């Protein structure tokens, strides 16, 4: 088991991000309420191996701030956010939420996780697109942290 600062189980958090990407994808496609999507995932998925609290924070956070997150992404994407492939859009929104609101998570971890889930679930070169967009967004939202490296 890989633990990070404050004893955080990094594997469980990584699984939570993967599940959150799938749930966010379902939310975007279905138009259902986020609460219903979360309940469905709790029921259907093997959530005990994931960080359930983090999973729910990601989803509620994206839902609450989706317009703001899309506005933050807009200068760095080549089309309207709504036109981006749904998996890539979900990965971008999740990472944008973490970059802006989860300052306890290093930006490099956020970018790496977003790239990995996009490689796993997205289109063949989708991870390159996600990486390029998030690198620029991290430069804006985490300038001090990024510059310190």
Secondary structure letter of residue 104 according to DSSP: T
**Residue 87: partners with Cβ closer than 8 Å, 6 or more residues away:** 21, 25, 118, 121, 122, 123, 126
Q: Work out the average pLDDT over 18-43.
A: 90
Q: Which burial class, exposed, middle or buried, applies to 147 when counting CB atoms under 10 A from its CB (0-12, 13-18, 19+)?
A: exposed
3-state helix, strand, coil in the chain (%, to 5): 80, 0, 20
Average pLDDT in the chain: 89
Instruction: Answer yes or no: pTM beyond 0.75.
Output: yes
Under 8 Å between Cβ of 70 and 93: yes
What is the structure's pLDDT at 102? Answer: 95
Instruction: Delineate the domains of the chain, giving CATH numbers in brackets.
Output: 5-147 (1.10.940.10)
Under 8 Å between Cβ of 103 and 61: no
Which of 107, 101, 106, 96 is CA-nearest to residue 133? Answer: 96
With 60 as the cut, is the pLDDT of residue 4 above it? no
Least confident interval from 2-11, 45-54, 56-65, 66-75: 2-11
Instruction: State the Cα–Cα distance between residues 32 and 30, nearest whole angstrom.
Output: 5
Over residues 62-119, the pLDDT tens digits come to 999 999 999 999 999 999 999 999 999 999 999 999 999 999 999 999 999 999 999 9
Number of alpha carbons in the 13 Å side-chain half-sphere of residue 59? 29
What are the DSSP E strand ranges found in 1-149?
none
What is the structure's pLDDT at 129? Answer: 96
What is the structure's pLDDT at 47? Answer: 62
């Amino acid at each position: 088991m890989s633990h990070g600062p404050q004893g955080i189980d990094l594997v469980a958090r990584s699984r939570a991000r993967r599940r959150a990407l799938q749930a966010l994808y379902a939310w975007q496609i279905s138009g259902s309420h986020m609460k219903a999507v979360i309940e469905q995932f709790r029921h259907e998925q093997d959530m005990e191996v994931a960080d359930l609290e983090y999973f729910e924070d990601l989803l509620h956070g994206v839902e609450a701030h989706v317009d703001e997150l899309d506005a933050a992404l807009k200068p760095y994407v080549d089309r309207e956010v709504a036109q981006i492939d749904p998996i890539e859009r979900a990965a971008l929104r999740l990472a944008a939420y973490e970059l802006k609101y989860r300052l306890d998570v290093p930006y490099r971890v956020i970018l790496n996780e977003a790239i990995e889930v996009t490689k796993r679930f997205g289109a063949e070169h989708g991870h390159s697109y996600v990486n390029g967009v998030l690198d620029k967004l991290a430069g804006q939202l985490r300038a001090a942290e990024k510059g310190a490296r």
